Amino acid sequence: MSLTARIGMLNDVLCAQSVLSWDSRTMMPSGGADSRARQMATLIGLAREILVAPETATALAADDIAGLNPDHPHRRAHETTRAAHDFHRRIPGDLLARRAAARGVANGAWIKARETSDFALFAPHLHTSFALAREFADAAGWQAHPYDALLALYEPGETVASLTALFARLKSGIAPILAAARQRSIRTDFLTRPYPEAGQQRIARHFAELLGYDFNRGRLDVTVHPFEVSFTRNDVRITTRYRPDALAPALFGAMHETGHGLYEQNVDPAHTGTALATDLIGLYAVGGASFGAHESQSRLWENHVGRSLPFWQKHFPTVQAEFPDALSDVTATQFHAAVNAANPGLIRTEADELTYDLHIILRTELEAALIAGDMRTDDIPAAWAKAMHDQLGVAVPNDRLGCLQDIHWSSGMVGSFCSYTIGNVMAAQLMQAAKRIPEIADGLQTAHYTPLADWLRQNIWTHGRRFTRDELLLRATGSPLTPEPYLAYLREKFA
Amino acid sequence: MSLTARIGMLNDVLCAQSVLSWDSRTMMPSGGADSRARQMATLIGLAREILVAPETATALAADDIAGLNPDHPHRRAHETTRAAHDFHRRIPGDLLARRAAARGVANGAWIKARETSDFALFAPHLHTSFALAREFADAAGWQAHPYDALLALYEPGETVASLTALFARLKSGIAPILAAARQRSIRTDFLTRPYPEAGQQRIARHFAELLGYDFNRGRLDVTVHPFEVSFTRNDVRITTRYRPDALAPALFGAMHETGHGLYEQNVDPAHTGTALATDLIGLYAVGGASFGAHESQSRLWENHVGRSLPFWQKHFPTVQAEFPDALSDVTATQFHAAVNAANPGLIRTEADELTYDLHIILRTELEAALIAGDMRTDDIPAAWAKAMHDQLGVAVPNDRLGCLQDIHWSSGMVGSFCSYTIGNVMAAQLMQAAKRIPEIADGLQTAHYTPLADWLRQNIWTHGRRFTRDELLLRATGSPLTPEPYLAYLREKFA
């Protein structure tokens, strides 16, 4: 079997795994949970077996890339596959099994600890979770810092050193903007009023279509924690949730996932089923270059488009007509201001655009210290409270609203948080470059997004995983990741 | 890896395949069709690889069953696995690939041929389809008749010889009942009136629950061709369809699939993931003993329960209240009579209970003759018309309403039709035995079905694939499959 056929088979298995995952989060009856977990573990195990099997080494050896340019798609696919094959062969199977077992136990303990806001219940499991993550990092290999090995799973190229510099600039840049934003008082009362679900569904679907999401190759469903997932570019599904008393979560959630969906739906069809549409390190069928690159597209469409004044000048009447009771006393300008209000709070997932990154930086810094052994698990609550006070100016009343709020640590997902902030930074950098093109800038002023979408398709989406995140940024903006456009954007919006 | 672990992994893959299949028929956007077909083919290929791999032979050799009784579950699982391993090793991989390729082409040709009612368009593909089925039969091995090898895929134990005897008795038994039924005139006008879909959904769900279907381990969704599918007993999904102008298809369709669902939801939990909940010949995750045994449960609940007078005496008021416009001038007795009216027609899927088997017998006899080479593909239309005239007394106006109506032949599913009739026969045989128990008989008279369900759970459902269909019948009724109870039932209902 050729290398391409072999990776195609692997991609099929990972797409199947994603169908099972989507189903478990949108459709599955509660009774199916245990069987489903087992089925998903089996598929991931088979995918890994296909990748590490001697047959893959044979296929790699038989796959001649000598004559291909360094950035030829097939050469990139070959090199990615080679690296992933070597990577997974370095990770002992028993470590994966121990992590999977620990994850199950830790998740149960986390749910209990969060309910009772009792960190002590979770602490030993958190300790194990980080000890196993460290063991994983050591098996994967690292040079300057063990956390670098975990960052590489989600955001290849980032290191503790690079993130330290990025975060320092963001902290110093955001602080004065936040101080200025605190002085403003913005009316937001109408955001929490009764909004019938049927109307929210219609608007969410309407906006997804408006931004270019193709429903012939997708669906919009309801879930608890919204996500996007693709089973090749031809079947890319998004989800949102509907709160009966609030409009913004469903609306901006749908636009966020639409951004993810646009990325996947627009990957070059030639990449379908190849290593350029498969994360062979994470064993996940995905076309985006990195988690951060993916997040850049969701944040771009959610924030730069969906929270812009021209968008609401054009589309507020549609929303107002759908919810006449809730929005009769509101103007487009007021609505736009309300959905852009800064309001430092305790919960990451409810954070506004300006303070969101401070939540991320806090978590990432803790993770790096824990992995390095520079901090003990028991010290987390105090460190959390101090950072929340120093950076956001809020007091943490209990661990439930503090260090027990996220599922990531109980799931063993150490190293992923930074992707959210990288997405924000990358989105602003791309928008700054895109706006230099008059047609795109004009479109943004009049809420016509085809020029922007065409530019993103050509510069980002179509490439799938052919280029790294920084290669994409260099090609599209002339620079690797840089926080200045993002800080300028935040300054203009909030200061 | 132990034999049990290995088959557990195989079952996981087949359950995943079933999730993908369910999704493709209920949820998938149209654009996903090609990718999905590929993903499903990959999973089936992996399942087959797991089964035929030398590791399975090694696990079989290491699995000691010497001390186990002949009908010990593990011994049965072992023997089933051994037989399936040997069976699949006899089938050449290239034959499977050629059948899969031919299926794709044949299906497209069938759709076109049916649209234009032009059998000549489909004939060459049908010829290929049967030639490949014959090649498959020869590879699988047979003794008396090549069609026996195909029957064994769906209804192990049945042969051309056994079916010939069964069908002869059914034909001679049904003919006089049909002649008598033709004399009766039954009012059915109210069955085709406007029935709003929301009401049909409520009633379908209500009846499924009433018959014992567990929605914590299941779902009821909408599809074009209703089906039931299980991903272990803990997640068993049923489907139906809603016609705005007719109530019966959704109602009896839902009860039919509920019968299938009850079987799967009630397989012994100890069989989950074993060869006793997996069709290792057909590579399909299913707990039923055979296709016919499965059909016996759907037909039993649809017809013996769902079309019984006590059922409608009790539940007609609920349906009438849901559809006051359509049913205000109808009584429970009239409704019961209407849903039991015999009306010979051209289309199998729309056939009444009395004439359904005649459609099946016709198809099965043609299949056997084609596989044996006793008939040429081109002779099908004439043979079809003659049988429809002789057996049902209807004239076939064109091939669209004749031999082009079913998808089975273009899908290469040769050998499966007989299962429908075996299901009917088996259902009546089981009901005759069950009714000998006073508690069950009383329950049927008062529309209380718990005693019947308990008896079926204990005698049929819980065993999964541990016993063959005839072993189940012998244990539950004292006799292998026999048509007399079925003919007695039809006589009582229709003559």
Structure tokens at B419: 């299962």
Nearest CA in chain A to B47: A46
Do A150 and A137 touch, CB atoms closer than 8 A? Answer: yes
For the residues B384-398, what does the mean pLDDT come to?
A: 96
Q: Show residues of chain A in contact with B45, CB under 8 Å.
A: 9
**In which band, very low, low, confident or very high, does the pLDDT at B124 lie, cut at 50, 70 and 90?**
very high
**In which band, very low, low, confident or very high, does the pLDDT at B341 lie, cut at 50, 70 and 90?**
very high
Nearest CA in chain B to A273: B35
Do A421 and A158 touch, CB atoms closer than 8 A? Answer: no
SS3 B283: coil
Q: What angle do CA B249, B255, B261 make, to 5 degrees?
A: 130
Residue A309: burial class (beta carbons within 10 Å; 0-12, 13-18, 19+): middle
Closest CA to A354 of A290, A299, A413, A416: A299
Do B211 and B258 touch, CB atoms closer than 8 A? Answer: yes
Using the Cβ of A17 and the Cβ atoms of chain B, whether some distance falls under 8 Å is answered with: yes
Instruction: Please tell me whether the interface predicted TM-score (ipTM) of this complex is above 0.90.
Output: yes
**In which band, very low, low, confident or very high, does the pLDDT at A49 lie, cut at 50, 70 and 90?**
very high
Question: Locate tokens 């969704």: which residue?
Answer: B221
Do B185 and B171 touch, CB atoms closer than 8 A? Answer: no
The pLDDT score that the predictor gives to residue B436 is 98
pLDDT above 70 coverage of chain B, percent: 100
The pLDDT score that the predictor gives to residue B412 is 86
Q: Show residues of chain A in contact with B42, CB under 8 Å.
A: 9, 12-13, 16
Nearest CA in chain B to A30: B216
For the residues B211-217, what does the mean pLDDT come to?
A: 98
What value does the mean pLDDT of chain A take?
96
Q: Show residues of chain A in contact with B23, CB under 8 Å.
A: 19, 23
**Which of B48, B235, B236 should we substitute to test contact with A (largest number of A Cβ atoms within 10 Å)?**
B235
Beta carbons of A42 and B9 less than 8 Å apart:
yes
Using the Cβ of A218 and the Cβ atoms of chain B, whether some distance falls under 8 Å is answered with: yes
Structure tokens at A57: 């080494």
Q: CATH 1.10.1370.30 spans which residues of chain A?
A: 107-495
What value does the mean pLDDT of chain B take?
96
Could you report the per-residue pLDDT of A9-38, keeping only the tens digit for each?
Answer: 999 999 999 999 999 999 999 999 999 999
The pLDDT score that the predictor gives to residue B127 is 95
Of B155, B158, B228, B257, which is the active-site residue? B257
Residue A412 has pLDDT above 90, yes or no: no
Dihedrals phi, psi of B476, to nearest 5 degrees: -90, -30
For the residues A55-72, what does the mean pLDDT come to?
A: 96
**Which of B14, B17, B19, B55 should we substitute to test contact with A (largest number of A Cβ atoms within 10 Å)?**
B19
Of A155, A158, A228, A257, which is the active-site residue? A257
Q: Show residues of chain A in contact with B38, CB under 8 Å.
A: 8, 12, 273
For the residues A137-147, what does the mean pLDDT come to?
A: 98
Residue A266 has pLDDT above 90, yes or no: yes
> DSSP of B105-152, one letter per residue?
HHHHHHHHHHHHT-HHHHHHHHHHHHHHHHHHHHHH--SS-HHHHHHH
Structure tokens at B364: 């099965």
For the residues A167-186, what does the mean pLDDT come to?
A: 95
| Single-letter amino acid, residue A290 | S
Known catalytic residue at B353: no
Strand partners, A228: A238
Beta carbons of B16 and A12 less than 8 Å apart:
no
Could you report the per-residue pLDDT of B424-469, keeping only the tens digit for each?
Answer: 999 999 999 999 999 999 999 999 999 999 999 999 999 999 999 9
pLDDT above 90 coverage of chain B, percent: 96
Tell me the CA distances in angstroms from B325 to A329, B321, B450, B465, one per residue in order: 43, 9, 33, 46
By Cβ distance, the residue of B9, B38, B232 closest to A12 is: B38
Could you report the per-residue pLDDT of A271-284, keeping only the tens digit for each?
Answer: 999 999 999 999 99
The pLDDT score that the predictor gives to residue B411 is 87
The CATH architecture to which B116-495 belongs is Orthogonal Bundle (1.10)
Could you report the per-residue pLDDT of B15-54, keeping only the tens digit for each?
Answer: 999 999 999 999 999 999 999 999 999 999 999 999 999 9
Using the Cβ of B213 and the Cβ atoms of chain A, whether some distance falls under 8 Å is answered with: no
Could you report the per-residue pLDDT of B368-378, keeping only the tens digit for each?
Answer: 999 999 999 99
Distance separating alpha carbons of residues B432 and B439, to the nearest angstrom: 14
Using the Cβ of A101 and the Cβ atoms of chain B, whether some distance falls under 8 Å is answered with: no
Do B139 and B91 touch, CB atoms closer than 8 A? Answer: yes
Residue A377 has pLDDT above 90, yes or no: yes
> DSSP of B299-366, one letter per residue?
HIIIIIITTSHHHHHHHHHHHHHH-HHHHTT--HHHHHHHTT-----S-GGG--TTTHHHHHHHHHHH
Residue B495 has pLDDT above 90, yes or no: no
Strand partners, A222: A240
Residue A104 has pLDDT above 90, yes or no: no
Residue B60 has pLDDT above 90, yes or no: yes
Enter the CATH code of domain A107-495: 1.10.1370.30
Tell me the CA distances in angstroms from A198 to A62, A201, A205, A413, one per residue in order: 56, 5, 11, 35
Dihedral, CA of residue B272, residue B274, residue B279 and residue B285, to nearest 10 = 40
Do B217 and A29 touch, CB atoms closer than 8 A? Answer: yes
Structure tokens at A365: 């810094």
Residue A495 has pLDDT above 90, yes or no: no
Closest CA to B281 of B42, B55, B1, B79: B79
Q: In what order do the strands lie in the sheet with B236-240?
A: B218-222, B236-240, B228-230
Residue A258 has pLDDT above 90, yes or no: yes
Beta carbons of A231 and B35 less than 8 Å apart:
yes
Using the Cβ of A49 and the Cβ atoms of chain B, whether some distance falls under 8 Å is answered with: no
The whole-angstrom distance between A7's CA and the closest CA on chain B is: 12
Distance separating alpha carbons of residues A413 and B48, to the nearest angstrom: 34
The pLDDT score that the predictor gives to residue B279 is 98
Residue B165 has pLDDT above 90, yes or no: yes
**In which band, very low, low, confident or very high, does the pLDDT at A453 lie, cut at 50, 70 and 90?**
very high
The whole-angstrom distance between B303's CA and the closest CA on chain A is: 28
| Single-letter amino acid, residue B338 | A
Could you report the per-residue pLDDT of A282-305, keeping only the tens digit for each?
Answer: 999 999 999 999 999 999 999 999
Distance separating alpha carbons of residues A155 and B78, to the nearest angstrom: 47
Handedness of CA A141, A142, A145, A149 (dihedral sign): negative
Other Cβ atoms closer than 10 A to B439: 14
Closest CA to B265 of B216, B309, B227: B216
Using the Cβ of B32 and the Cβ atoms of chain A, whether some distance falls under 8 Å is answered with: yes
The pLDDT score that the predictor gives to residue B493 is 94
Distance separating alpha carbons of residues A476 and A460, to the nearest angstrom: 8
Nearest CA in chain B to A14: B39
Beta carbons of B216 and A38 less than 8 Å apart:
no
Do B213 and B262 touch, CB atoms closer than 8 A? Answer: yes
Angle between helices A33-52 and B3-26 (to 10 degrees): 110
Residue B281: burial class (beta carbons within 10 Å; 0-12, 13-18, 19+): middle
The pLDDT score that the predictor gives to residue A411 is 87
Beta carbons of A232 and B12 less than 8 Å apart:
no
**In which band, very low, low, confident or very high, does the pLDDT at A393 lie, cut at 50, 70 and 90?**
very high
Using the Cβ of B37 and the Cβ atoms of chain A, whether some distance falls under 8 Å is answered with: no
| Single-letter amino acid, residue A467 | F
> What kind and span of H or E run contains B218?
strand B218-222
Beta carbons of A216 and B30 less than 8 Å apart:
yes
For the residues B186-195, what does the mean pLDDT come to?
A: 96
Residues 6+ apart with CB under 8 A from B12: A38, A39, A42, A43, B273
Tell me the CA distances in angstroms from A92 to A132, A137, A140, B232, B409, one per residue in order: 12, 12, 10, 30, 49
For the residues B325-353, what does the mean pLDDT come to?
A: 95
**Which of A27, A213, A230, A233 should we substitute to test contact with B (largest number of B Cβ atoms within 10 Å)?**
A27
The whole-angstrom distance between B336's CA and the closest CA on chain A is: 34
User: What is the pTM for the complete model shown?
Assistant: 0.96
